[in-house]
Amino acid sequence: MKYIWLLAPCILALWAPLYNRVDPQIFGVPFYYWFQLLLIPVSALGIFVYDRARKG
Amino acid sequence: MAMFAHLNAVATSVFVFFFALVTVLGFLAARWKRASLDSIGEWGLGGRQFGPWVTWFLLGGDLYTAYTVIAVPALVYGVGALGFFAVPYTIIIYPFLYFTMPRLWAVTHKHHYLTAADFIFGRYGNRSLELAVALTGLIATMPYIALQLVGLEKVIAALGFSGAGVYAHAPITIAFVILALYTYKSGLRAPALIAFVKDAMIYVFVLAAIVVIPYELGGWSHIFSAASDAYAAKVAAHKVAAAGLTLAPGQIGPYITLAIGSAMALFMYPHALTGTLAASSGRAIRFNTMTLPAYSIALGFIALLGMMAIAANVKVDSATDAVPQLVLWAFPDWFAGFCFAAIALGALVPAAVMSIGAANTFTRNVWKPFIHPGMTAVEESAVAKIVSLIVKIGALMVIFFMPTRFALDLQLLGGVWMIQIFPALVFGLFTRWFSGWALFLGWLAGIVVGTALSWTPKAWVPVHKLAWDVPWFGHIDSGLGFASYNGLTSLLLNLAVAALLSLVLRSKAADQTRPEDYLD
């Protein structure tokens, strides 16, 4: 199950219809942009958590 | 002199200062982690001793190139949301690296392999497959180096240099000759050391840009609304089929498949593998799968510079001038010079690693097996050094004598070709079930069909609808109704051919590797 930490960010990143929208905006930045930008550190964190779990 | 009449003196001075600084670093790099550079392992792979942080700077400098800094925002400037595919592309690549590259590092370290093709010959014992992999890497790398020159030339033009005739390409020729000399002398140590300076400068540039430019333009909402209006006007005037702040329905298929295909192709390129295999341990590579995303965040913001250029109303002849012109518009001259130097170094680091990766590949997988099998380590290093010079001269010749369009088209096709070695390299890390000849024929099918899909009477294109007119056969419609990246579509065919033929063409060739060799 620990694979979910790696897979979930990838699935979200590729699921374009999910985030292909303007609202809700943050500081005038459309959802499409801030969601994808936010997903970058989230995906890195996912790899970190997986790495820790793998080493047990 | 006329070519210097419009030169921005302050910006140019800062630019030349940084260029001189890295030139000194490039030559001094030969003494860093000192070893005899007469061995190809030391010259071409830095002796495999770059720890987690050196690898972070080197790979960051190597993968996020000057051309990226120019071309990604240019695409956003032109069509908006579609240009952001670089973000999902760089998200999915790191989990993939986590699973594959430590294995490749371990097996190459154990057997002293230097290139992808070295490993593939060791694994499958098939010279044709080795040559196919090597030539794919060499051919795909050439236009990539040429495009770094295009990036370099864009910022030099923005400094106000306007040479004509033989002088038109004088600055990039000087820059490249200097780069060629210190790469010849110091090998991979040169770009590794310069990458520290380049990456630090790029981060300063991006931080300044995302703080200062939105402030000057009156906030993010103004930037996005100005961009939205500009895209709507373009679509209304039929200048582009689709553009906007979000993807048009027809762009979703290309967006997803371009992200997947580009991610699968990137680490097949010799320069990406050279930077990775130079790491000192599998641990150093895993560390980088968690830390390299910092560059992806920078790239995401760089992409948004395309919209800032629209909001700032900079007028450009070509979309690739958008970022340099925005920098001139937004910053004082001295800082514009700093940003241009950052982009220029962003061309030199990858160009050096690409030429080294190509040189290693040519030496080990073309020259050694087919021309001079009895080569010593010293001879290998001598050939590689000379090839690194030839590759750079070749890239300069492309820029001198061919239209930029030629390098762009070849780069587009390069990605479609490069992905075709994915089954041999990546599956080979986990299984020997596929046979060498089956992988070779799959590669061939993928190259031919990927190229054919990309051809249209007007231009080479990256995507094609999933419905095809097959010669002597007729029309086939997959019924999926969307367009897909040709690299990915043709890879599926490659995989099908390789899998089916592996059932009948069982390989009797030797495998040099054992399962435990893949564990670091």
B249 to chain A, any CB pair closer than 8 A? The answer is: no
Quick one: average pLDDT of B135-156? 89
Percent of all residues in chain B with a pLDDT value above 90, rounded to a whole number = 53
Average pLDDT, chain B: 89
CB contacts, 8 Å: A48 with chain B = 290
CA distance A54 to chain B (A): 12
**Tens digit of pLDDT for each residue in B277-314?**
999 999 999 999 999 999 999 999 999 999 999 999 88
B223 to chain A, any CB pair closer than 8 A? The answer is: yes
Residue A1 has which token pair?
């199950």
CB contacts, 8 Å: A8 with chain B = none
CB contacts, 8 Å: B259 with chain A = 13-14
Whole-number pLDDT of residue A56? 65
The span from the first CA to the last CA of chain B, in angstroms, equals: 60
Whole-number pLDDT of residue B434? 93
The structural domains of chain A, with segments of one domain joined by +, span: 4-55
**Tens digit of pLDDT for each residue in B176-214?**
889 899 899 898 999 999 999 999 999 999 999 999 999
Residue B165 has which token pair?
């005739």
Query: Looking at the partner chain, which of B92, B222, B293 has a beta carbon nearest the beta carbon of A14?
Result: B92
Q: Number of CB pairs < 8 Å for A and B?
A: 94
CB contacts, 8 Å: B222 with chain A = 28
Q: Do B256 and A50 touch (CB under 8 A)?
A: no
**Tens digit of pLDDT for each residue in B85-101?**
999 999 999 999 999 99
CA distance B326 to chain A (A): 20
Alpha-helical runs (H) found in B293-373: 293-311, 322-330, 333-362, 368-370
Which of A 1-20 lie inside 8 A of B, CB atoms? Answer: 6-7, 9-10, 13-14, 16-17, 20
At residue B39 the predicted structure's pLDDT band, cuts being 50, 70 and 90, is confident
Q: Do B300 and A27 touch (CB under 8 A)?
A: no
Write the DSSP symbol of residue A25: P
Q: Do B246 and A21 touch (CB under 8 A)?
A: yes
Q: Do A39 and B92 touch (CB under 8 A)?
A: no
Query: Looking at the partner chain, which of A10, A25, A43 has a beta carbon nearest the beta carbon of B293?
Result: A43
Q: Do A13 and B291 touch (CB under 8 A)?
A: no
Q: Do A40 and B224 touch (CB under 8 A)?
A: no
Residue-by-residue DSSP string for B400-415: HHS-HHHHHHHHHHHH
- Is residue B394 a contact partner of residue B358, using CB atoms and an 8 Å limit? no
ipTM: 0.95
Query: Looking at the partner chain, which of B252, B291, B304 has a beta carbon nearest the beta carbon of A17?
Result: B252
- Residue A41 sits at the vertex; the CA angle it makes with A36 and A47, to the nearest 5 degrees, is 115
Residue B335 clears pLDDT 90, i.e. is over it: yes
CB contacts, 8 Å: A13 with chain B = 87-88, 91-92, 259
Q: Do B219 and A28 touch (CB under 8 A)?
A: yes
Quick one: average pLDDT of B224-251? 88
- Is residue B396 a contact partner of residue B176, using CB atoms and an 8 Å limit? yes
Write the DSSP symbol of residue B364: I
> CA nearest B258: which of B97, B443, B416?
B416
A41 to chain B, any CB pair closer than 8 A? The answer is: yes
Cα B71 from Cα B95, distance rounded (Å): 25
Enumerate domains of chain B plus CATH numbers. 2-518 (1.20.1730.10)
> CA nearest B95: which of A51, A37, A32?
A51
| Confidence (pTM) | 0.91
Percent of all residues in chain A with a pLDDT value above 70, rounded to a whole number = 98
CA distance B13 to chain A (A): 35
Q: Do B224 and A17 touch (CB under 8 A)?
A: no
Whole-number pLDDT of residue B466? 79
CB contacts, 8 Å: B246 with chain A = 20-22, 30, 32
**Tens digit of pLDDT for each residue in B480-502?**
778 889 999 999 999 999 999 99
**Residue B487 Cα distances to B86, B417, B421, angstroms:** 16, 7, 11
Cα B464 from Cα B144, distance rounded (Å): 23
Whole-number pLDDT of residue B463? 83
The residues near B224 (Cβ < 8 Å, ≥ 6 apart) are A28, A29, A30, B245, B307
Q: Minimum mean pLDDT among B29-33, B165-169, B355-359: which range? A: B165-169
Whole-number pLDDT of residue B1? 55
CB contacts, 8 Å: B95 with chain A = 6-7, 9-10, 43, 46-47
Residue B236 clears pLDDT 70, i.e. is over it: yes
Q: Do A47 and B290 touch (CB under 8 A)?
A: yes
